[in-house]
Chain A
Amino acid sequence: MNEPTFFLLAFLAYVLSALVYFGSQLFSKEKWAKTGFLLAVSGLAVHTLALAARTVKSGHAPFTNMYESISFLAWASALAYVLMEGKFKIRKTGPYVMLIVVALMAIASSPLMPKEATPLVPALQSYWLWLHVSVTLLGEAFFAVAFVSSLLFLRADARGRKPKGEEAARAAERNDAMSYRAIAVGFPLFTLGGLVFGMIWAYKAWGTYWSWDPKEVWSLITWLVFALYLHTRIVMGWKGRRSALIAVLGFLAALFTYFGVNYLLTGLHSYA
């Protein structure tokens, strides 16, 4: 079997996982959530094979054009979710994270994304490509999990304020804690991959570690927003709604760093 087949199988597994998860919530079937999780894990496994097959065939890291990097972000988000779920049992987040994964896979499959692997331009021929991009996207994947649990918090919090909302209020508290845990993983990863590895590679390739290139500035903006999240939470004791809003803004900034900068602004990072 080859990469497109593995990719398609992974896509199918993710779609089924999302459907089963939603079904489990809609019909209150706790057992289905387990099936949803197993489907997500098997999708992740087949997706891993797809990435490996592509790496072997192209001879370089599987994130050098838009198709590849969106597929990799979907993989990283699935991985981040599976890890968080395995450790903290957060089934409520499942359907929505899988929805994001499915959306990313759909974007990657669109005919507008050229699929063929092209040889690497000289600027990308470095092992820092592996380190810089994979760690950054993994960090952003954890921000995606935080984004989902923050949105779920906002929904549960609104319900929890109504009469007989005790159950929703407890769910809200769990979602709030979940966001913090995801950011506690994502923030160091993003700092390492996006900023530190980025600066080292820039120094090696361009001769300057920081050039205020739009992609660099937007990474810094993303970092500042999550730094704001951590400071308001840890030092000033903010929790709940205000924290959730900052986490949502942070993920949107990360998303803009990733997509928006490529399409709307020009700069040194114009590879994809």
Chain B
Amino acid sequence: MGLPDNAIKESNYRIAAALQNTGYKLPGKKITINMAPADVRKEGSAYDLPIALGILSASGQIKTSQIGEYIIMGEIALDGSIRAIKGALPIAIQTLKDGFKGFILPKENAQEEAIVKGIDVYGVAHLNEVISFFEGKAKLKPMEVNTRALFEQKGKFSHLDFADVKGHATAKRCMEIAAAGGHNIILIGPRGQEKPCWPNAYLPFCHPLHFLRP
């Protein structure tokens, strides 16, 4: 309960299958999962993993006291592997603010999250990894990213260059002023005038075509 959307309502099927496939089971009782606060809508499949771990820990199948110290998010596939989620970066920033110990999330999202300094980010690929982490059987390695380095390997700015534009001195000047002051700009021109460039300016877009040549 707690205003879940359809993706969350269906998560009990995913969790049941995943638990069975990893050697655990759903307790044969009625389970109530309360997603608080009750009046905010919850959406998406990212709650599969926390719900599954909650069930395991409440039914005594895993014994740990640490589970409350981590933010856990992830979608579970039927075989227990963990799939990517949306909106992981804002969650990570909130994790830091709320003073949690770490953030456990799908491996595919880990790169995106590790940008946030000050928390440990653990990327996991399978439900088993998370369970053995909480049971103390295995350790997870925090993901490390050098944000500076990531930011600095910028690569090329753009394939398109103003050098290929013939004439249009005022339009170019206008663009320069707009870029310098962050101004909004409108270009009014007769048909076909906005595309005045040599064909080779479009070459970068043509490369995939070469692939088709015998």
State whether these chains interact.
no
